[in-house]
A and B are shown apart, each in its own frame.
Chain A
């Protein structure tokens, strides 16, 4: 009888468990797949999104960013602001307070010393820290007491939420990494692959570029989370096979970055085993216009430099006509499906920071022709427009990528129809983005008239991102072609507005300035011709609940809240 009662009790308990919020570790195994496998679990030594996301299950920053783009405290008690006194009135320092009783997964307490160490680790000049820009302008990081961290900046920092914020800048455990600072950083294989963290999971196994296995962190600060007892991230294959494993065969619960053609998206969604989710950040596929002459007739060292303005694209009407001829909605439909939207700005989101221009979306071939006619570019005998004996010929380059080659073909058609002679070129991505000063095919050298790629801001506040269109950022032979103003765009008005942004502390004012800067390079001048606002397409199975896709932080930012749908 007693046994029977106990059994009934157990059954009742199990039933209750299903209804109420599950306790830690009651939902079994969580299986995640990435098309690129995790190489290392230390985000300070890798910029790969796969590595940053993988490590975000284990390592946590003081504050994160939620799916709406708002700052949320993680290890900190609250977000420091000027109002609550956490940020000094002159904006030269920020003081974080750690939550009481925080433990690392090995049971030792988390202290302010760990944060001080993390900053020193990344700022060590010989460490090759991949997230150094997160500590840009940091003068010192000190522990005021065991749970108070004060970050002092070299000058006023209107947006002080860089160091220790987001998955790119988490806390490392001093005890584990103490011997791994500076030149020794890459040699600490065990620490780099199995870091001790404060996150909902801890690493139990790691095979390079293949699989990471986790189990629930017994010392996680919320005793009821995570719902899953174990987790694994299996990497490799491609976007198609990752999507299939979630959407068609149901082997996995979650797949990150399942960027597949729109028709495959539709076919897989029809299987009914899961759904696609899209996170729209700031990634914009765009055409960049070269403002300098890339002609091969010029001597080496003068090609694509400010010495020779571009003979065709210096004319703003040509740039405008090229933009007007493009049907962005068609590009989205062909290339991205649900994971894309037409874009006219380089800052398409979040709404508060975006100029939200839509003037470029409607295609206007007649208008483009008229504009070129008025600008003096008239069709010659062969149908190609010319002006002063100069043919309207454009070399249009991008990387080898099926979607980009589709885009090239479509855009070439549209441009040809308004009388532009277009030559296409595709470069291997490892060369294009490789930055080798000796190669003629890097995107920085820009030995072409127009080039296409995608870029984004890695912070919500775009100050660092907008820095790139300043005069001084132009790559040239003098700086070994290092620099991100690849258009060699140079407008004193832009530079002075940017300088104003750097000094402005009021958020609303900063947003106005950012929008103005964005419009200056896009709609007003068409130096940059945005095409598609790209999202990250991920997939989760119907048996996985709690997913809130996030473009501003790790997609696994709320993995502690994920649960098994029963």
Chain B
């Protein structure tokens, strides 16, 4: 297992380098330019100077190599300086966003907590709702509960979040006035009342995202349970006289969870990726909102850095899912 992990980690290095180059070229060749953000009232020669000050007029290869150096050397050096008070980075230029002129990693640092709180909670809530629904739906296949669960999953799958989100806003915020529509990112949770405020402002985005997440996971859980319920070992357990509760929740559930756990693990990078539409809709300043804003503004350093981090996370969680699979299922060995 250790050799396997090591081999996979080493293989990840060239993979990620190739990914970073491909992303860089794709983003660079995509139509659009940071110039499109500058109003028409600015004369062309001033525009040229602004673009030159960003460094956006350099050849693409020069900019890519500079980015590599900044990402793998300057930024980690800054991080270490921040922790230990050293001066490794010196006066080196950090990766700066073209749009805001702030260091990209500062922006990511500001935004990751919001994304993890909202999107992470939604993922957790989704999983917690989905697993019991999946179990019971499979156990009572074609019952009214199963039909209802299927309907719920169909809605979660097929109705896009920009629709459910807006619907929730109109019902719960505009008509009933229970929840706010805009997320206050400056809110500090210090006591019970601010905690309640935080809960209230999280409710709508979490509901919107949780519905979509729960729909997907409950389907996986249900089909995995159905696969196992028909197995011989289930009949054996029942023949031994095990109570039904033990049969379902101990024998069947454990075995059914294996594929579901991998699905959940593979979904974790998408938490870091944020939820572009939902974050925008509710004004949660997460990573997803930052990415879409940067894409609109053709803010290449920001788009490049974010997409590359997502790529790295996906590679990492793929590996974690593989290792988890091996740990959960003793029949699977990689050596």
Contact = CB atoms under 8 A, between A and B. Distances in A.
Interface string B81-105: 0000000000001001101111100
B96 A457 contact: no
Contact of B181 (A45, A183, A245, A441): A245
Contacts of A132: 46, 49
A26 interface: no
Contacts of B49: 125, 128-129, 132
Interface in A1-45: 33, 37, 39-40, 45
B322 interface: no
Contacts of B293: 37, 209
Interface stretch (A234-242, A307-315, A332-340, A404-412): A234-242
Interface string B287-324: 00110010011100000000000000000000000000
Nearest to B37: A48
A430 B31 contact: yes
Nearest to A240: B166
Given A189-B103, A241-B283, A436-B33, A430 B53 contact: no
Contacts of B280: 236-238
A429 B36 contact: yes
A126 interface: yes
Interface centre among A40, A128, A185, A439 (most CB of B within 10 A): A128
A456 interface: yes
A189 B44 CA distance: 26
Contacts of B44: 435, 482-484
Nearest to A41: B100
Interface string B152-187: 000000000000000001000110010011101110
A174 B40 CA distance: 30
Interface stretch (A99-107, A149-157, A247-255, A504-512): A247-255
B130 to A, nearest CB: 29
Given A241-B281, A456-B41, A128 B52 contact: yes
B198 to A, nearest CB: 15
Interface centre among A47, A431, A457 (most CB of B within 10 A): A47
A441 B39 CA distance: 18
A497 interface: no
B107 interface: yes
Contacts of B285: 37, 207, 209-211, 236
B102 A33 contact: no
Interface in A113-149: 125-130, 132-133
B42 interface: yes
Interface in B251-291: 280-283, 285, 289-290
B328 to A, nearest CB: 40
Contact of B102 (A37, A40, A129, A456): A40
B101 A186 contact: yes
B100 A47 contact: no
Contacts of B174: 244, 248-249
A33 B180 CA distance: 14
A465 interface: yes
B185 A435 contact: no
A245 B182 contact: yes
A456 B44 CA distance: 15
Contacts of A210: 110-111, 185, 285
Interface in A279-326: none
A187 interface: yes
A428 B31 contact: yes
Given A207-B110, A435-B33, A130 B38 contact: yes
Contacts of B48: 482
A495 interface: no
A456 B40 CA distance: 8
B180 A251 contact: yes
Nearest to A237: B283
B76 interface: no
Interface in A438-460: 439, 441, 455-458
Contacts of A431: 31-32, 36
Contacts of B231: none
A137 to B, nearest CB: 12
Interface size bracket, A side: 35 or more
Contacts of B186: 205, 207, 211, 213, 232
Contacts of A39: 99-101
Contacts of B96: 186-187
A558 interface: no
Contacts of A238: 280
B106 interface: yes
Contacts of A232: 186
Contacts of B103: 189
B31 A439 contact: yes
Contacts of A48: 37
B125 interface: no
Contact of A47 (B39, B53, B181, B282): B39
A126 B53 CA distance: 6
A244 B185 contact: no
A433 B40 contact: yes
Interface string B4-15: 000000000000
A213 B187 CA distance: 11
Interface in A415-441: 428-436, 439, 441
Contact of B185 (A40, A129, A207): A207
B102 A193 contact: yes
B235 interface: no
Interface in B32-79: 32-33, 35-54
Given A133-B42, A434-B32, A47 B101 contact: no
B99 A430 contact: no
B53 A241 contact: no
B97 to A, nearest CB: 7
A458 B42 CA distance: 9
Contacts of B93: 187
Contacts of B40: 433, 455-456, 484
Contacts of B38: 47, 130
Contact of A40 (B101, B106, B281, B298): B101
A207 B286 CA distance: 11
Interface string A37-75: 101100001011100000000000000000000000000
A436 B31 CA distance: 8
A208 interface: yes
A186 B56 CA distance: 14
B101 A45 contact: yes
Nearest to A168: B41
Interface in B173-227: 173-174, 177, 180-182, 184-186
A274 to B, nearest CB: 14
A345 interface: no
A192 interface: yes
A550 B265 CA distance: 53
B32 A430 contact: yes
A245 B183 CA distance: 11
Given A209-B285, A435-B35, A189 B182 contact: no
Contact of B37 (A47, A185, A241, A249): A47
Contact of B106 (A33, A189, A430): A189
Contact of B35 (A33, A434, A484): A434
Interface in A169-216: 183, 185-187, 189, 192-193, 205, 207-211, 213
22 contacts: A39-B100, A129-B46, A129-B50, A132-B49, A133-B46, A205-B186, A209-B107, A234-B283, A237-B281, A241-B181, A244-B174, A244-B181, A245-B182, A249-B173, A249-B177, A249-B180, A251-B181, A428-B31, A430-B32, A430-B298, A434-B31, A458-B41
Interface of B: 31-33, 35-54, 93, 96-97, 99-103, 106-107, 110-111, 169, 173-174, 177, 180-182, 184-186, 280-283, 285, 289-290, 293, 296-298
Top 3 nearest A-B pairs (CB, nearest first) are A128-B53, A430-B32, A210-B285
Given A37-B285, A210-B110, A211-B285, 11 more contacts: A37-B293, A49-B39, A128-B51, A130-B50, A133-B41, A211-B186, A213-B186, A234-B185, A236-B280, A435-B33, A436-B31
